[in-house]
């Protein structure tokens, strides 16, 4: 790889906030972004798990700040950004990854259950984007982690999850429209398919084999590195002319 090409994918000296970074996709992204040179701020509700994520990122020679926060609380979101500015001076990238999921039949889902998912998956993403959008400069990037279930179904009753993740796509387009011309901030969404994480461990034992696997055109599930590489591309100068888009990373599941 030439030096010029490597620079297109570099995040050297940038500052990235990653929510939902205590495990799974968020924790993996923290390592990838750190390897690309970005200082990282990892946020989640579980402080003990965050410590491991931050420590692993520091091994790549970058600064890593951890902030315990619940993104469904707008004040927590403001606090994450304030701490970032105080400690690292700027915010260049937001990976809006915090999310929650459950599978409940629509006739039995309670208002509390529905609202709890929307509060994290949609409201939380908006509060974080709003807080970051106030301080980000031109060339910054916001990446909203949606889901393949925003555009298809997958055999489980997940009305609240699907609705909240689909709403993120509309939010992405609107923020891209507002902040691209005025602020120079790019806003895109990722729609991942099946990646084995702590969240997917709750799936019924035969679900992946009997329901998901037949729909995967590449005949396998995704690796965390494949997700984080796509997120890195959206965060980096390499995708500098991409905004308002939803990038689907699902092994072909959404077209079967």
What letter would DSSP give residue 152?
Answer: S
Q: Which residues of the chain have pLDDT under 70?
A: 1, 199
Dihedral through CA 150, CA 156, CA 161, CA 162, nearest 10?
20
CATH number at residue 233: 3.40.50.720
**Per this entry, what is the length of the chain?**
256
The token duo for 32 is: 């990838």
What letter would DSSP give residue 243?
Answer: -
Reference 93, options 191, 188, 172, 5; nearest CA is: 188
Q: Does residue 255 lie within any of the structural domains?
A: no
The residue range of the domain holding 119 is 3-248
Q: Does residue 254 lie within any of the structural domains?
A: no
Q: Does residue 81 lie within any of the structural domains?
A: yes
The total number of structural domains that make up the chain: 1
Q: Does residue 113 lie within any of the structural domains?
A: yes
Q: Does residue 83 lie within any of the structural domains?
A: yes
Q: Does residue 144 lie within any of the structural domains?
A: yes
Q: Does residue 256 lie within any of the structural domains?
A: no
Count the Cβ atoms, other than its own, within 10 Å of residue 227. 23
Q: pTM of the full predicted structure?
A: 0.95
DSSP 202-242: GS-TTHIIIIIGGG-TTSSPBPHHHHHHHHHHHHSGGGTT-
207 is catalytic: no
Per residue in 118-170, pLDDT (tens digit) is 999 999 999 999 999 999 999 999 999 999 999 999 888 999 999 999 999 99
Which of 126, 161, 203, 207 is catalytic? The answer is 161
Per residue in 204-225, pLDDT (tens digit) is 778 877 888 889 899 988 999 9
């Amino acid at each position: 790889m030439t030096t010029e090409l490597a620079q297109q994918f570099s995040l050297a000296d940038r500052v990235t906030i990653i929510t939902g970074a205590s495990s799974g996709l968020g924790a993996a992204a923290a390592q990838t972004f750190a390897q690309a040179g970005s200082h990282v701020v990892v946020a989640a509700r579980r402080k003990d798990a965050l410590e491991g994520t931050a420590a692993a990122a520091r091994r790549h020679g970058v600064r890593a700040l951890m902030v315990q926060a619940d993104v469904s609380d707008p004040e927590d979101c403001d606090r994450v950004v304030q701490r970032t500015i105080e400690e690292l001076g700027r915010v260049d990238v937001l990976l809006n990854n915090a999310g929650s999921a459950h599978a409940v039949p629509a006739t039995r889902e309670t208002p509390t259950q529905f609202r709890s998912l929307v509060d994290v998956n949609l409201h939380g993403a908006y509060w974080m984007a709003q807080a970051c959008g106030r301080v980000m400069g031109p060339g910054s990037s916001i990446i909203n982690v949606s889901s393949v279930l925003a555009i298809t179904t997958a055999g489980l009753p997940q009305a609240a999850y699907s609705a909240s993740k689909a709403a993120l796509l509309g939010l992405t387009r609107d923020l891209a429209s507002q902040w691209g011309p005025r602020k120079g901030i790019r806003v895109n969404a990722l729609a991942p398919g099946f990646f084995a994480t702590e969240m997917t461990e709750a799936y019924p034992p035969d679900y992946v084999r009997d329901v998901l696997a037949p729909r995967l055109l590449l005949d396998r599930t995704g690796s965390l590195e494949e997700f984080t590489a796509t997120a890195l591309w959206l965060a980096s100068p390499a995708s500098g002319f991409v905004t308002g888009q939803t990038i689907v990373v699902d092994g072909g599941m959404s077209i079967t």
